[in-house]
């Protein structure tokens, strides 16, 4: 949405030039670029470039001669960068803005830990339920004739008791949290003050 608005402004302001947005990839290996790629970048007449790209590169280099564009395609790292547009300044540079760190830096607190444990226990119980259902009801006795299958079940038999106790813990925690949530909602018990 924002990029289309900026494009409209582009078209209206710069009349005859149709500029295709070129994004610079956030590459950490910029300093170690070999001379071969640098030649490719600075050579405006290489066959891989279209005329609009040439014009854009020339414009950007006229404004900022120290800018080095190593690649045309933007790397959309998962969750790392997202496209956004500079609309304020006169420079028509499309750069990718990074997303500020969230999960790696945020300190976990008591209530947030309780909440995520509730979610994890719920997911664990669902998977245990599904697994036990598949195991007990869907699996016929013929599966046990396969030796590797039988071997797997023989050796993992001890895990059943452990997973039963863990799932009992998860079930009790999930139930307590659910009851607390219900009480907060229905009885207007009030949300506890955390500070």
The backbone torsions φ and ψ at residue 82, rounded to the nearest 5 degrees and listed phi first, read: -145, 150
| Range in contact with other proteins (rule: CB under 8 A) among 12-20, 21-29, 33-41, 43-51 | 21-29
**Binding-residue pattern over the window 131 to 170 for other proteins, x denoting contact by CB under 8 A:** ----------------------------------------
User: Are the CB atoms for 80 and 2 separated by under 8 Å?
Assistant: no
Of 77, 70, 64, 57, give the one whose Cα is nearest residue 31: 70
Cα angle 102-107-112, degrees, rounded to a multiple of 5: 90
Q: Does 58 bind other proteins (CB under 8 A)?
A: no
Residues across the chain: 195
Three-state secondary structure along 131-166? Answer: HHHHHHHHCCHHHHHCHHHHHHHHHCHHHHHHHHHH
| Range in contact with other proteins (rule: CB under 8 A) among 51-59, 109-117, 132-140, 157-165 | 109-117
Which member of 36, 105, 161, 162 binds other proteins (CB under 8 A)?
105
User: Are the CB atoms for 70 and 37 separated by under 8 Å?
Assistant: yes
Cα within 13 Å of Cα(61), Cβ side: 12
User: Are the CB atoms for 71 and 27 separated by under 8 Å?
Assistant: yes
Least Å distance between CB 123 and other proteins? 14
Number of amino acids touching other proteins (CB under 8 A) = 38
Please identify, using beta-carbon distances, which residue of 41 and 166 lies nearer to other proteins.
41
Least Å distance between CB 100 and other proteins? 4
| Range in contact with other proteins (rule: CB under 8 A) among 7-15, 33-41, 79-87, 141-149 | 79-87
Which member of 35, 106, 136, 142 binds other proteins (CB under 8 A)?
106
Q: Does 115 bind other proteins (CB under 8 A)?
A: yes
Write the CB contacts of 186 (distance below 8 Å, at least 6 apart in sequence).
none
Residues within the interface to other proteins (CB under 8 A)? 24, 26-28, 30, 64, 82, 84, 86, 95-103, 105-107, 109, 111-112, 115-116, 119, 181, 184-186, 188, 190-195
């Amino acid at each position: 949405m924002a990029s289309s608005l900026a494009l409209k402004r582009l078209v209206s302001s710069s009349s005859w030039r149709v500029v295709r947005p070129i994004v610079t990839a956030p590459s950490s290996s910029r300093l170690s670029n070999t001379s071969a790629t640098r030649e490719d970048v600075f050579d405006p007449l290489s066959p891989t470039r279209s005329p609009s790209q040439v014009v854009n590169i020339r414009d950007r280099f006229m404004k900022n001669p120290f800018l080095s564009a190593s690649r045309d395609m933007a790397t959309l790292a998962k969750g790392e960068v997202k496209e956004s547009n500079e609309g304020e300044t006169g420079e028509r540079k499309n750069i990718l803005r990074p997303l500020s760190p969230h999960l790696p830096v945020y300190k976990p607190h008591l209530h947030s830990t309780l909440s995520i444990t509730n979610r994890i226990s719920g997911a664990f119980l669902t998977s245990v339920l599904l697994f036990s259902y598949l195991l007990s009801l869907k699996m016929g006795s013929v599966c046990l004739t396969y030796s590797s299958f039988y071997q797997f079940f023989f050796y993992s038999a001890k895990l059943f008791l452990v997973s039963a106790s863990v799932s009992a813990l998860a079930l009790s925690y999930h139930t307590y949290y659910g009851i607390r949530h219900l009480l907060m909602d229905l009885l207007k018990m009030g949300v506890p003050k955390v500070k």
